[in-house]
Structure 1
């Protein structure tokens, strides 16, 4: 693993130079840009030019006044720190560039931990010189990230957004003793199912069957705990969706990213919920986004995560012609998804009862997949459940795969015969069902 160093990575003198250049270059960049709509690449290129020019000016001034001159290596560190502050994520940037880092937690500017592929809770260096600098860093990021500016101040003390690399950032200030930042990374983005097989997330047999389930337009719910790989698996399954289909994605922050891959999915409408402004107006909930998406004639609706009253429009979408839709949910097992949906439906404005919810689930969901993460950080599928209908007020289902002795998915009762036929018609290898069909 790459050694994790202090993300700031500069001496006190260099830090002083960084602070001065950050202000100088920032002002010059703003004056250069004016009201012109330059692209991100053009702004970054101009930023590098201004940083180099400012460093040259600083060196000339130090020589003429007898001050300390930075050597070449120090100048490179300073230039990178200034660039990261203006265009990246400042002291977090080095951690985000480390492929082994999975999650980053800052409890203030100097109490920083990371989870890596081999170690959890590793203490690393500060990400800013003060809490005020950390807040300003996040505030600048909020101003330039996403589809619209997001505030981060005492009036809006929390921030939730997706970074350019797909990582998900959540920050709070004011309501905690010190500003706190959590960054969840997706180390594997746009990963095909065969790569998840190589990583040990699922078997080749199960990969073949789940890929066929997507192509057969079965509605799929992916369940698991936090950071268990739900989004990664959803992205891999979306890779099985034919390119000609029209998709609507609904998220609170853009993580799925199907709209960023026009070669695979050229016809995607990404919708993102938003919170109310300081006057308490302008909120667009995920439930509202799902309803809007249904008016856009999608072939499938992909909801990043169901965590509230959006469960009802999502289930309605699955049962009213948008076959092949997908979502994720926090649940501790495949069977636990039913209880989770029941709770969300009861809390929705419609306050749907248990029997009505179960009927809706049974008519909407076809397949439930559950993932977990072991103590070493490996993600894997633990079970697959096929929803078969209702028995009175209860949802009936069939455990296709269940957790084996090591917790990983092991063959249980298999798919129903009619489902096997449907999967084979969608391209599944008949040999992957060699253990027999369930009646």
Structure 2
């Protein structure tokens, strides 16, 4: 009589079948696809077909040899695990499918933590059977993601890429005791500005003013810490850019995704930095991408995040005809952006002095917005600063909104009169300035 496996042996048998089918279906899928140009959906549909066929073959063989047969529930688990391994992110996929999961951290295959909307640092089960399997899983993801394959081995022990759902994955091996993976979710990466008002990210009047600032072609810098919501706010503001404009986006890993919305942004050239190859050549830095982008006649340049010497070409882009450009930067406050820019500019090959750097910043940046993540996990704007000019080695600015007692932005000194006129001309509601403004 054929045996149905019990709970005690379920895990071991399922793991064996998953490993067996993953290899078998992977080989068949590769043979089926060949060199033809099949779409991702066609490959996934064929993958499900091959998985079901392989499971049927295995059941038939088990019956004929009087060995253990998978239950219906076990077959469903196996089918999902094999599909996730071939088309998703293996043991991570179940966590990625959960809408409440915000961040995933794996310090090896079996030391895994997640941050959810209601809990931080919760320990969960393993994502792979071994560290070797974890490394191989990440290699497969690297081979499928992005515009070109990215390496993950001892010659290139770190990996930075965007997943299909927009999540950001970073992995290291070799330089750490065990392979380590962190995945940062972008749960609200493509939401309009009005939705951010509903979420409590910023008040209605400020959303109206920032939307007008985009339409008025003011250059905007969004600052904040890691996972504070900078990219989400940048995407929301980009939604205010007229579809007739030509955009060039520059990132180290595709994350903004403006080019994926042909209705809102039909004319977008996305550029991605590239690491050197095995011979140590072929690297294309973000700074080089910005310079390339400027030769493509963009109406605006959007740099996903400045973190090094790309700051100078970015500031030049903002001050030399590409008004309305935007970027993000890591900084602790709106005022802290100036020190961050100075530090990045000092690292650039041009070796500009402090006064020259500040003149460049003052001539390029119009508005700085700072966002933060509260202890409750909610993200919000803490302040807005308007750059007004430069006085020697000091950039002058006006604090429009500042952090209130709860950290959220509250009215401070308001916009300058000339800026208010620009914003109203760009469609801002005059009533949103009813508290007055500075002269």
TM > 0.5: yes
Match runs of 1:385-400 below 5 Å: 385-400=385-400
Deviations 1:337-395, CA, capped at 9 Å, x for gaps: 00000011111111111000000000000000001111111111110000001122211
> Who is 1:310 aligned against?
310
> Who is 1:218 aligned against?
218
Measure the CA separation in 2 of the matches of 1:337 and 1:156: 32
> Who is 2:6 aligned against?
none
> Who is 2:88 aligned against?
88
Deviations 1:191-245, CA, capped at 9 Å, x for gaps: 1011000111100010000000000000000000000000000000000000000
> Who is 2:244 aligned against?
244
Match runs of 1:302-381 below 5 Å: 302-381=302-381
Structure 1 vs Structure 2 CA RMSD? 0.7
Measure the CA separation in 2 of the matches of 1:92 and 1:352: 45
> Who is 1:58 aligned against?
58
> Who is 1:3 aligned against?
none
Measure the CA separation in 1 of the matches of 2:351 and 2:99: 45
Instruction: Report the alpha carbon displacement of residue 36 of structure 1 after superposing the two structures with TM.
Output: 1.3
Measure the CA separation in 1 of the matches of 2:307 and 2:98: 31
Is it true that 1:266 corresponds to 2:245 in the alignment? no
> Who is 1:424 aligned against?
424
Any idea what SS the aligned residue of 1:129 has?
Answer: coil
> Who is 1:227 aligned against?
227
Is it true that 1:208 corresponds to 2:203 in the alignment? no
> Who is 1:141 aligned against?
141
Match runs of 1:8-157 below 5 Å: 11-157=11-157
Structure 1 residue runs of 4+, over 4 Å off?
none
Instruction: Report the alpha carbon displacement of residue 39 of structure 1 after superposing the two structures with TM.
Output: 1.0
Deviations 1:303-349, CA, capped at 9 Å, x for gaps: 00000000000000000000000000000010000000001111111
Any idea what SS the aligned residue of 2:288 has?
Answer: helix
Instruction: Report the alpha carbon displacement of residue 11 of structure 1 after superposing the two structures with TM.
Output: 1.8
Measure the CA separation in 2 of the matches of 1:354 and 1:393: 6
Measure the CA separation in 1 of the matches of 2:33 and 2:208: 51
Any idea what SS the aligned residue of 1:401 has?
Answer: strand
Measure the CA separation in 1 of the matches of 2:34 and 2:412: 64
Measure the CA separation in 2 of the matches of 1:18 and 1:138: 17
Deviations 1:60-100, CA, capped at 9 Å, x for gaps: 00001111111111111100000000000000001111011
Measure the CA separation in 2 of the matches of 1:327 and 1:161: 19
Is it true that 1:177 corresponds to 2:202 in the alignment? no
Measure the CA separation in 1 of the matches of 2:182 and 2:393: 41
> Who is 2:4 aligned against?
none
> Who is 2:159 aligned against?
159
Any idea what SS the aligned residue of 1:11 has?
Answer: helix
Range with bigger deviation, 315-324 or 145-154: 145-154
Instruction: Report the alpha carbon displacement of residue 151 of structure 1 after superposing the two structures with TM.
Output: 1.1
Any idea what SS the aligned residue of 1:231 has?
Answer: helix
Measure the CA separation in 2 of the matches of 1:157 and 1:392: 44
Measure the CA separation in 1 of the matches of 2:31 and 2:401: 61
Measure the CA separation in 2 of the matches of 1:30 and 1:407: 54
Instruction: Report the alpha carbon displacement of residue 144 of structure 1 after superposing the two structures with TM.
Output: 1.2
> Who is 2:433 aligned against?
433
Q: Which runs of 5+ in 2 are unaligned?
A: 1-9
> Who is 1:5 aligned against?
none
Any idea what SS the aligned residue of 2:115 has?
Answer: strand
What TM-score do the two structures reach when normalised by structure 2?
Answer: 0.97
Q: How many residues align?
A: 430
